[in-house]
């Protein structure tokens, strides 16, 4: 497990964070298809918080895209690096997610975030932010549509419908299980929307959520439990007084 310090130049205010978004958003690449589904590596990233202790844990889990077997995994723990502000959640997570990705022993390939990319009020969610900073192809797969609208896709697995901000398509609602609520897919960086949806279907052979998200969620929760136990033990230890 890697311990993370918040970068010295990290935004401290909402205004600073929005200025960073405005600058980095211009670097998002939308004209590349991305890697074909079922090839190479695909990596899930996720975070878990303990706000009372001001701790965030991130996990990165690399899967073989063809078999969905785990190839490698890494975790990182640090302090929450930004207050909770809707639309700026990436600033709470990015330092630890970058550290977890950096601790992997192999290339991550396509990265799948539990969150949004272009489906974001400022068109620059975690998946886009992470993609621009790393240069990796990244997609966002969210559990709910945020503030956007969509028509229910068909009931069968593989059905989809546009996720809309007014008349602008910012992602797609994708049915990954027959008759089960869809997930909400958006492009982050260096992947087309159609390819992102194909990856999501390849990553959901049994459950609603991608295997990348399921594995990363479990791992970051475990890392958070270990970190909170360690901190509690340190606080109680006489040698720490």
Q: Which residues pair with 142 in a beta bridge?
A: 184
Tell me if 50 is assigned to a ligand binding site.
no
Helix, strand, or coil (residue 4)? strand
Distance CA 15, CA 21 (A): 10
Helix, strand, or coil (residue 72)? strand
Smallest Cα–Cα separation from 150: which of 140, 161, 142? 161
Helix, strand, or coil (residue 146)? coil
Please state, in angstroms and as integers, the Cα–Cα distance from residue 194 to each residue in 161, 174, 185, 189, 235, following that order: 12, 11, 10, 13, 50
Tell me if 151 is assigned to a ligand binding site.
no
Residue list, annotated binding site: 46, 114
Residue list, annotated binding site for Mg(2+): 46, 114
């Amino acid at each position: 497990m890697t311990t993370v310090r918040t970068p010295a130049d990290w935004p401290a205010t909402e205004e600073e964070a929005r200025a960073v978004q405005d600058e980095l958003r211009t670097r998002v690449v939308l004209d590349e298809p991305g890697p074909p589904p079922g090839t190479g590596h695909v990596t899930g990233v996720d975070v878990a918080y303990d706000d009372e202790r001001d701790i965030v844990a991130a996990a990165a889990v690399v899967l073989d895209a063809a078999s969905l077997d785990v190839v490698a995994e890494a975790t990182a723990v640090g302090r929450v690096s930004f207050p909770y502000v809707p639309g700026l959640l990436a600033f709470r997570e990015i330092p630890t997610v970058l550290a977890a990705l950096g601790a992997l022993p192999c290339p991550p390939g396509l990265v799948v975030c539990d969150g949004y990319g272009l489906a974001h009020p400022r068109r620059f969610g975690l998946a886009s932010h992470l993609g621009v900073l790393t240069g990796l192809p990244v997609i966002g797969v969210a559990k709910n549509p945020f503030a956007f609208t969509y028509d229910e896709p068909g009931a069968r697995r593989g059905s989809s419908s546009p996720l809309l901000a007014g008349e602008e398509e910012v992602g797609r609602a994708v049915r990954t299980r027959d008759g089960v609520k869809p997930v909400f897919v958006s492009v982050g960086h260096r992947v087309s929307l159609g390819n992102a949806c194909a990856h999501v279907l390849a990553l959901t052979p049994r459950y609603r959520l991608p295997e990348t998200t399921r594995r990363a969620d479990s791992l970051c929760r475990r890392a958070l439990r270990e970190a909170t136990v360690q901190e509690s033990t340190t606080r109680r230890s006489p040698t720490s007084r």
